[in-house]
Chain A
């Protein structure tokens, strides 16, 4: 019997062979250590992300998220929904908020869901994985499992936008949230409290459609990490991770920089600190290899 159980909404990017598949790999290993049981919502669908807005309209967007709520209720009544992706979490939370505050929107959503043979009776709680870690488990519990502290590794905590705004993690400020730095500290590494690009936007979907605009922002985010002597960047968001990591080569061409800094998920740091190997931490999924972490992950753990 697991300590904590949740309905799990992994999201499109974490599927096998997709852009954040290594995030899921590390989350699975992390949850195994922490005895957190995630049960995937059967046949879950895309949240529509923020960028779907031109065609989505209001109701279709909420209906799309509501289908996941309905499936979760049908298969795992009463369970909270946990998302690992910032956009999934944000989209689902926004739908929860709107439907809770508008009887009309709720009634319209129920009518549309009927077409898929589904219904919602109770609105589920929508949680991000970092909320589960911080609020349900706590830093002391997370720290207990550290057997291989990432000593001497300097890491810039890049929170980004959608895990931070407009909802954010309870008790944190929008301008300077502390939890990611605390997590870096928790795994035994060295945080950079003065990292001023902590909540800068990575450009989101504009990294695809208008790369020059997004890459100007990515440049600031990476440059500041270097300025503070970071060896790697860590983030809780799949799109932040991808944008900040995979376009460094293009940024280098555009600006004449020589960026080559690994961008990790908090869960990867935790798996390595918990004694997991490189594969369990999804380190093979880095486009810019995290050599320092690979070295640490190869070390024997004294138990």
Chain B
């Protein structure tokens, strides 16, 4: 059974409860009073429009629209600008909930597969936890080559002038490809993160069972 089937069966007809128990800060969703300040304050909603801006996602959660919410590209449009948080009259931590819903959709395999920010988010975390520090060159290349080699070369060419400018200014080091900055105690970092994942998994499972 897929991760999604397991949770879907457990929380049948109670999507709000599922979000409250499985999503970071999810227990705040019911506090939304649908004023829409978050949607009006969101830079990417203002510029190019989310399919479902935050306040709409909150209502959809309460209406049990599980499939539409979890497969939506909307919350992946969050730029982490925190404008919604500081303006929300109910002080709902909206940015964290957007990240939380996205993370949950990703965790149970419901998030849109080729969504670019989803890809980049995963890439960033793997990149920075691998050695303990971000390798900016590998991070950029990893994104450009996400759709295969040919597209990667095309993307690289399109970004050539940007990259060249940075190299000239001493702010992009091509040698980062062969190593680069790193922490000494990588073993400790990996062990501590593995433990953290394990604890979090156990806690989420306990909520589902309880």
Of residues 34 through 53 on chain A, the ones whose CB sits less than 8 Å from some CB of chain B are 43-46, 48-53
Across the interface, B189 reaches (CB within 8 A) one of A116, A216, A217, namely A116
- What residues of B have a CB within 8 angstroms of the CB of A286 in the complex? 169
- What residues of B have a CB within 8 angstroms of the CB of A15 in the complex? 133, 181
The reply to whether A54 and B44 contact each other, CB–CB distance below 8 Å, is: no
The reply to whether A67 and B121 contact each other, CB–CB distance below 8 Å, is: no
Select the residue from A109, A111, A165, A200 with max chain B CB neighbours within 10 A.
Answer: A165
The reply to whether B82 and A162 contact each other, CB–CB distance below 8 Å, is: yes
- What residues of A have a CB within 8 angstroms of the CB of B171 in the complex? 17-22, 242, 285, 287
**Interface assignment of A144: CB less than 8 Å from any CB of chain B:** no
- What residues of A have a CB within 8 angstroms of the CB of B118 in the complex? 54
Interface size of A by CB at 8 A reads 70
Contact flags A43-86 to B (C-beta < 8 A → 1, else 0): 11110111111111111101110010000000000000000000
Across the interface, B128 reaches (CB within 8 A) one of A12, A22, A174, A209, namely A12
**Interface assignment of A271: CB less than 8 Å from any CB of chain B:** no
The reply to whether B195 and A205 contact each other, CB–CB distance below 8 Å, is: no
- What residues of B have a CB within 8 angstroms of the CB of A63 in the complex? 192-193, 195-196
The reply to whether A57 and B170 contact each other, CB–CB distance below 8 Å, is: no
Residues of chain A at the chain B interface (Cβ within 8 Å): 12-13, 15-22, 43-46, 48-60, 62-64, 67, 108-109, 111-118, 161-162, 165-166, 168, 174, 200-201, 203-206, 208-210, 212-214, 216-217, 242, 246-247, 249-250, 284-287
Across the interface, B170 reaches (CB within 8 A) one of A45, A204, A210, A285, namely A285
Select the residue from A114, A166, A168, A286 with max chain B CB neighbours within 10 A.
Answer: A166
**Interface assignment of B145: CB less than 8 Å from any CB of chain A:** no
Interface size of B by CB at 8 A reads 69
The reply to whether A246 and B165 contact each other, CB–CB distance below 8 Å, is: yes
Across the interface, B79 reaches (CB within 8 A) one of A109, A116, A205, A247, namely A205
Minimal Cβ-Cβ distance residue in B for A215: B47
**Interface assignment of B194: CB less than 8 Å from any CB of chain A:** yes
- What residues of A have a CB within 8 angstroms of the CB of B81 in the complex? 161-162, 165, 201, 204
Contact flags B97-122 to A (C-beta < 8 A → 1, else 0): 00110110011000100001111111
Output the least CB separation between B153 and chain A (Å). Answer: 17
Output the least CB separation between A252 and chain B (Å). Answer: 11
User: In the assembly, what is the distance between CA of A217 and CA of B77, in Å?
Assistant: 13
Across the interface, B124 reaches (CB within 8 A) one of A49, A114, A115, namely A49
The reply to whether B200 and A57 contact each other, CB–CB distance below 8 Å, is: yes
The reply to whether B195 and A111 contact each other, CB–CB distance below 8 Å, is: yes
Across the interface, B197 reaches (CB within 8 A) one of A17, A57, A62, A217, namely A57
The verdict on A201 contacting B79 (CB below 8 Å), with A59-B200, A287-B171 known, is yes
Across the interface, A57 reaches (CB within 8 A) one of B77, B87, B103, B192, namely B103
The reply to whether A21 and B170 contact each other, CB–CB distance below 8 Å, is: yes
Contacts A/B (CB < 8 Å), 16 sampled: A19-B171, A19-B172, A43-B184, A48-B125, A54-B106, A54-B122, A108-B203, A115-B191, A165-B82, A166-B85, A203-B44, A208-B139, A208-B143, A284-B169, A285-B170, A285-B171
The reply to whether A67 and B192 contact each other, CB–CB distance below 8 Å, is: yes
The reply to whether B102 and A53 contact each other, CB–CB distance below 8 Å, is: yes
